[in-house]
Amino acid sequence: MIVHALAALLQTQVPGLPEHRVANIFKPLASPAQSEYEIAVFVIAITTVIFVVVGGLIVFTIVRFRRRPSDDTRQEPPQVYGSNQIEVAWTVIPILIVFVLIGVTARITAGVQNASPPASTVKVTVIGHQWWWEVVYPDFGLTTANEIHVPASPDGKTATYLTLRSMDVIHSFWVPQLSGKTDLIPNRDNFLWIDPKEAGIYLGNCAEYCGTQHANMLLRVIAHPPGDFEKWMAEQQKPAEQNPQMTEAKAMFESLSCINCHTVKGTPAVGKFGPDLTHLMSRETIGAGVLTNTAENLRNWINDPQVAKPGCYMPSMKLTDQELGQVVSYLESLK
C-alpha cells in the first residue's frame, strides 16, 4: 500500500517539475554549459566589435567615395598601389586577436574536457539506437529508455557521468542548457558529465543526422530535487507490476511478437531491440518524445506507430480491437 501511495506521489511530482522547453544556450544550467556560455559571450563580444569597426569602415567607404553626378568621369582618382605599413598593421592586429582567442579556447577546452567531476556521481550509459535512446544505470542494474533521470546538483556536489555509445549509426547527445553536444559513435566510448543546477525537465535532440526519424529522436533529462532521485530509482528497480486482474491481458501481450523486441522484467518478454517497458507508465512520453504518454496516444501508437513516426522500426502489428485493448490495458498496468 505504502509503495502504491509513494508511486502515486511520484506520478504527481514528476510532471510538476518545471519543463525547460526552450533550450537556449545562453541560459545554461549546468557546469559545462556554463563554461561554454562564458566563452561564447567573450567571443561574441570580440566579434561584435570587429563587425562594427570593419563593417562601419566598409559602409563609410561605400557612402563617402560614391561617384557623384558632379564628378568628371574622365578624371581618374589618384592611383594608390598599396602600403606596406598598412598591410603589416592589419596583419599583426588580427594575429594578436587570434592569439588571445586561442589562449582562451585552450583553457576552456581543457577545463571542460579534463575537469574532474564532483566526488559523488551517478553513472549512466546512454546507448543510441535508430531513433531512440537506451538508458542504462550500471550501478543499479537498471535499464530504461528515452528519459534520463538524474539528481539535480544545486550545491555542485552531485554530478552525472554519461558514457555515450551507439548500437548502429552515429548519434549526438545535445541538451543545450546542460552541455554542448558529444557524439555517440559505434565501437567507441565517449564521455560527458552534467550537474543540473535546478531540478526540472531539460529538452534536447539528437544532433547528428542518423536516418529517417532523426527529427523525432528527442531527449528529456529529468533532474530530480535532492533525495527524489533515490526514490525514483527504488521504484524503477522493482520488477514489473503483477496485477492479478491483468492475467488475461498479460497472456495476450506475451503471445504476441511484442516480446521479441521489448523487455518487461520478470516476464518472458526479454527482447532487446526496442525500449524496456518494465515501468512504461512512469514515462512522460512515448516514441522517444514524439507523443505524450496518454491512454489515447498509447493506443494509437500501438495500433500503428508509422502514423506518428513514419519510418520507425516498430511495425504496425495489425492487432484486432480486442487484442489492442488488452495490450494497452496490460501496458497501462506497468506503472
Partner 1 sequence: MASIDYPLEHPKIHPREFSFSETLYAWVATVDHKRLGLMYIVSALIFLVIAGIMASVMRIQLAVPNNHFVDPDTFNRLFTMHGTTMVFLVGMPIVAGLSNYLVPLMIGARDMAFPRLNAFGFWIFLFGGLLLYYSYIGGSGLSGAGSAPDVGWFAYAPLTEKAFSRGASSDFWALGVMVSGFGSIASAINVIATTISLRCPGMTLSRMPVFVWVMLVDAWLILVALPPLSAAQIMLLLDRSLGANFFNTQAGGSAVLWQHFFWIFGHPEVYILIFPAFGTLSEIIPIFSRKPIFGRPAMVGAVVAIGFISLGVWAHHMFAVGMTSWSNTFFAASSMLVGVPTGIKIFNWTATMYGGKLRFATPMLFCCGFLLQFLVAGLTGIMLAVAPFDWQLHDSYFVVAHFHFTLIGGLVFGVFAGLYYWFPKATGRMLSEKLGKWHFWLFCIGFNMTFIPLHFAGMLGMPRRIYTYAAGRGWESWNMIASIGVIFQAAGILFFVWNVIQSLRFGERAGDDPWDAWTLEWATTSPPPEYNFEKLPVVRSSRPLWDLKHPQDPDWKFE
- 177-196: contacts with partner 1 (CB under 8 A): 179-183, 185-188, 190-191
- What is the distance between the alpha carbons of residues 108 and 122, in angstroms, rounded to a whole number? 24
Tell me if 205 sits within 8 A of 128, measured CB to CB: no
Which secondary-structure segment (H or E) carries 331? helix 321-332
Cβ proximity to partner 1, 187 vs 322, nearer residue: 187
Residue 326 near partner 1 by CB under 8 A: no
Q: What is the biggest distance separating any 2 CA atoms in the chain, rounded to whole angstroms?
A: 100
Q: How far apart are CA 16 and CA 274, in angstroms?
A: 28
Cell of 33: 554549459
Cis before 131? omega within 30: yes
User: Site for partner 1 (CB under 8 A): which residue of 58, 234, 251, 295?
Assistant: 58
Site for partner 1 in 282-321 (CB under 8 A): 310-311
Q: What string marks each residue from 132 to 171 as x (binds partner 1 by CB under 8 A) or -?
A: ------------------------------------xxx-
Candidate list 70, 79, 116, 245; residue touching partner 1; CB under 8 A: 79
Which parts of 212-231 interact with partner 1 (CB under 8 A)? 212-216
Contact stretch for partner 1 (CB under 8 A) within 208-216, 223-231, 245-253, 273-281: 208-216
Residue 21 within binding range of partner 1, rule CB under 8 A: yes
Whose cell is 494497452? That residue is 328
Q: How far is the CB of 75 from partner 1 (least distance, A)?
A: 8
Judged by CB under 8 A, the residue of 25, 45, 251, 270 near partner 1 is 25
From candidates 3, 71, 155, 156, binder to partner 1 by CB under 8 A: 71
**Sign of the C-alpha dihedral computed for residues 123, 202, 298 and 245 taken in this order:** positive
Residue 283 has φ and ψ, to the nearest 5°, of -95, 150
Nearer to partner 1, 105 or 294 (CB): 105
Q: Which stretch binds partner 1 (CB under 8 A): 56-64, 148-156, 238-246, 294-302?
A: 56-64
| Beta-ladder partners of 142 | 137
Q: Given candidates 9, 87, 230, 273, which one binds partner 1 under the rule CB under 8 A?
A: 87
Q: Does 235 bind partner 1 (CB under 8 A)?
A: no
Task: State which H helix or E strand residue 150 sits in.
Answer: strand 147-151
3 state SS of 220: strand
Indicate whether 50 belongs to the interface with partner 1 (CB under 8 A).
yes
Q: Using CA atoms, how far apart are residues 110 and 80, in angstroms rounded to an integer?
A: 47
